Chain A
Amino acid sequence: MIWVIGALAFWAVAWWLNVRLARLSLQGPARAVVPALFGVTLLVVWEGLVRGLEVSPVILPPPSAIGAALARSFAVLWVDVVATFVKGALTGFFIGCSAAFLVTLLIDRWPFFRDGLLPICNFVAALPIVGIAPIMVMWFGFGWESKAAVVVIMVFFPVLVNMVAGLAATDRMQRDLMETYAASYWQTLVKLRLPAAMPFLFNGLKIASTLALIGAIVAEFFGSPIYGMGFRISTEVGQLGLDMVWAVIAVAALAGSLFYGAIALIERRVTFWHPSQRN
């Protein structure tokens, strides 16, 4: 009982503090204090309720047990991350995004193909593409190649759709200006249209970054070597080792957030001129 009361008391104090903090207009890194405090509150309430109400660790382990599992099996988790995230998701992400980028440039020269491909790609981007995972596993085997192949196809369409929209984002006046400079197609592309397409491209890359991890993990459900995050989750769930499952999820969340954050950081550097980056 003391755990439950303690958790609820902590929640009340933290919420009161957050209401106070939210009123101040904090600048710079201090802005992270409010969400950080909220996150800590969630963890404390979770820990307190699980302990206080004596929830079975098979249903929901407390955060401390998850942390212990994380520290205990660090080496195992590292191998999983390398297999799934670095080899599967990142490789597939780079291949898929570069392919989408190049295809966009290619079809940009022939409006006929663009008009034909765009409705199809728009439709395919909305489909449950994860379904091709078993087919890719059949073609490329259980190794990381099949995971990368799934990721390539998953990230291809959102990036392509966004990139096509981006290349169309310049207005008449700007293109006319390039015309008066007697700029060639390539000069217009490199100096005007590609920079203007960057906000759209990064929008697509951000969507693709979360899809990449999903694709790599789903592909592992259909067959994998004896390591990898998807493999670890399915085997540990089978043994009811839920603290380990949560540890993998925490690692996946961290990897996913870092990946997303890295793309957001690059976006900041590349599209510094865009209104959304200028606060």
Chain B
Amino acid sequence: MLRALPVTVVLGIIAVIWYAGAVWLNAQWVYDQADRAGTVVTFAEVVPQTMAQDRPLLPPPHQVAAELWDGVAGQAVTSKRSLVYHAFKTLQATLLGFGLGIALGVGLAVAIVYSRTMEKSVMPWAIISQTVPIVALAPMIIVMASQAGIEGKMIPKGIIACYLSFFPVLVGMVKGLRSPDAMQLDLLATYNASGLQNFLKLRLPSSMPYFFASLKVAIAAALVGAIVGELPSGATEGLGARMLVGSQFGRPLDMWAALFAAAILAGLLIVLVGWLERVLRRRMGVVA
């Protein structure tokens, strides 16, 4: 309760600033309209009109909330106007990329931990790969996939999501697999443990906290990747496509609703990963 108070106050302040900004940015349009009609409007008349425009520069929070509610609950789930439908399309690509990213990240991490050559050769390039803006690759991955005869937008979107999400997993797992100290490794050596047993019983379990910490970063990155992957592909499905369409057809409310839908999706995914972590930790016998 004590911790919720500051957050509520700050959220309140943000809402006040938002409303003020909406009045300030949207008032110009009202004045222009009045000017054209040859009438004069007072400030008290302007304010309500800034709250309910069709194409506001900055829609006030309640307008965004109404649009979001309409998109989520006001449409059939299978309708193209439904945000649930678009969010589901984005979620599919996100989870595909997330899965691929985990596999690639963990695989590379194991190779790096066990091979000095791999570490020296691959690690610098893994870092450089993240300084390459993936969004620059996105349009090309989509063209390459369609040239290679891959149907649908799912796989290229998944690849982009994978590219963004593998790196946090790689870094976290390398750290995690190296986290057992010499004493623990020595103990297993005295048990005459094989390399595989060493990996399964010591290195893997001790890497789990690092693994989940990086999963939370990776799932957020995968969502960014999936959304970015929808931008240049001419995709008609997904939250990113929804933003692009809203931008091209001048429907700011669509853009804002899609943006908040993406934010909610990100929040849900992070909560889900956190929940998975707690379940797994309990099953592994860690006292929470």
Evaluate contact between B57 and A234: CB separation under 8 angstroms.
no
Evaluate contact between B136 and A248: CB separation under 8 angstroms.
yes
Evaluate contact between B7 and A214: CB separation under 8 angstroms.
no
Choose, from B31-39, B75-83, B122-130, B173-181, the stretch at the interface: B122-130
Distance between Cα atoms of A130 and B131 in the complex (Å) = 17
Interface string of B26-69 (1 = CB under 8 A from A): 00000000000000000000000000000001000000000000
The reply to whether the CB of A176 lies closer than 8 angstroms to some CB of chain B is: no
Q: Which residues of A contact B228 (CB under 8 A)?
A: 130, 214, 218
Distance between Cα atoms of A229 and B144 in the complex (Å) = 19
Interface string of A224-244 (1 = CB under 8 A from B): 000001100110010010100
The secondary structure that dominates the A interface is: helix
Residue from A21, A116, A245 within 8 A of B10 (CB atoms): A116
Given A38-B122, A252-B133, A135:B259 Cβ within 8 A: yes
The reply to whether the CB of B85 lies closer than 8 angstroms to some CB of chain A is: no
> Which B residues, 130 to 161, have Cβ-Cβ distances below 8 Å to chain A?
130-137, 139-140, 143-144, 147-148
Evaluate contact between A38 and B125: CB separation under 8 angstroms.
yes
Count contacts between A and B, CB distance < 8 Å: 163
* Closest beta carbon of chain A to B56's beta carbon, Å: 10
Evaluate contact between B121 and A132: CB separation under 8 angstroms.
no
Distance between Cα atoms of A221 and B120 in the complex (Å) = 36
Taking beta carbons and an 8 Å cutoff, which residues of A are in contact with B? 15, 18-19, 21-23, 32, 34-35, 37-39, 42, 56, 58-60, 112-113, 115-117, 119-120, 123, 126-128, 130-132, 134-135, 137-139, 209-210, 213-214, 217-218, 221-223, 229-230, 233-234, 237, 240, 242, 245-246, 248-249, 252-253, 256-257, 259-260
16 new A-B contacts at CB < 8 Å, known A128-B227, A253-B132: A58-B143, A59-B148, A116-B8, A116-B11, A126-B217, A130-B228, A131-B239, A131-B258, A131-B263, A132-B259, A135-B255, A135-B256, A135-B259, A210-B131, A249-B132, A257-B131
Q: List 19 A-B contacts (CB under 8 A).
A: A15-B117, A22-B120, A32-B124, A34-B117, A112-B6, A116-B10, A126-B220, A127-B220, A128-B223, A134-B243, A134-B246, A134-B247, A135-B255, A210-B130, A213-B133, A217-B133, A230-B136, A237-B143, A253-B132
Taking beta carbons and an 8 Å cutoff, which residues of B are in contact with A? 3, 5-11, 14, 25, 57, 116-117, 119-125, 128, 130-137, 139-140, 143-144, 147-148, 216-217, 220, 223-224, 227-228, 231-232, 239-240, 243-244, 246-247, 252, 255-256, 258-259, 262-263, 266-267, 270
